[in-house]
Amino acid sequence: MTTSRLDTSRLDRVLQLIDERNAQDPRSELLENQDIPKELLYGQRMSATLQNFKPDAGELLQIACRAQHIERWILPRSDYPMDRQGYKQWRTQLAQHHGQLTAQLMAGCGYSEDEQQRVATILQKKQLKRDAEVQTLEDVACLVFLEYYLNEFAGKHEHQKLLDIVRKTWNKMSDEGHAAALQLPLSANMLDMVKEALGL
């Protein structure tokens, strides 16, 4: 019992540190008449979605989900070439930054080097489709995108581009993720678009 309480305590501490970093995001999102730092809100949505999707998720996966976009704003997409190669470079740099920073925060909360490395591996999404925790992180990220951010994308892209985005998102997910996605409280328009993209 003592170990469990200590683990919960260090988990709470590292999640708080992640939130403190993300609270520094200069960008904000309006939610219920309140401006909330974008990545702070994103991290909390990731944690809430993980809790619903995998209520028995382990401690390290919980950390990875909260840190999925930690300090994302310091590496803007516009700093990289606006082509496929530039996009890949940007995503690689982001994953490395997320993993390194999260490992530093974990070290300060008493996590071992092996635990730090495991979270970094999950965040870098190595072995997607073969590593269950990496796949769960991807499923949760896709569910969060579909529920909270797809509508925003719909206002920025043409219909065919949106269908392509939905298909690419779907292809990253597991069967369990697919089932959860079809239960999301999407608007009628967004649900119709998802079904059109998938040929349902």
pLDDT of residue 148: 96
Final residue belonging to a domain, choices 99, 124, 149: 124
CB-based contact 48:147 (threshold 8 Å)? no
| Residue 6 confidence (pLDDT) above 80 | no
Q: Which domain holds residue 164?
A: 138-200
CB-based contact 143:177 (threshold 8 Å)? yes
List Cβ<8 Å contacts ≥24 apart for 174-182: 174/129, 174/135, 174/139, 176/53, 176/139, 177/53, 177/135, 177/138, 177/139, 177/142, 177/143, 180/53, 180/139, 180/143, 181/142, 181/143, 181/146
99 with 60, same domain: the answer is yes
The amino acid sitting at 23 is A
pLDDT of residue 10: 96
pLDDT in tens, 47-103: 999 999 999 999 999 999 999 999 999 999 999 999 999 999 999 999 999 999 999
| Residue 2 confidence (pLDDT) above 70 | no
Average pLDDT for 166-193: 94
80 with 152, same domain: the answer is no
27 with 78, same domain: the answer is yes
pTM here is 0.92
Number of structural domains (the chain) is 2
146 with 91, same domain: the answer is no
Residue by residue, DSSP assigns 95-154 as HHHHHHHHHHHHHTTT--HHHHHHHHHHHTTTTTTTSHHHHHHHHHHHHHIIIIIHHHHH
Final residue belonging to a domain, choices 95, 124, 153: 124
User: What value does the mean pLDDT of the chain take?
Assistant: 93
Average pLDDT for 4-30: 89
Q: Compute CA 69 distance to the chain's CA centroid, rounded to the nearest angstrom.
A: 6
pLDDT of residue 126: 84
Domain assignment present for 132: no
109 with 200, same domain: the answer is no
Residue 112 backbone zone (phi > 0: left; psi -120 to 50: alpha; other: beta): beta
39 with 5, same domain: the answer is yes
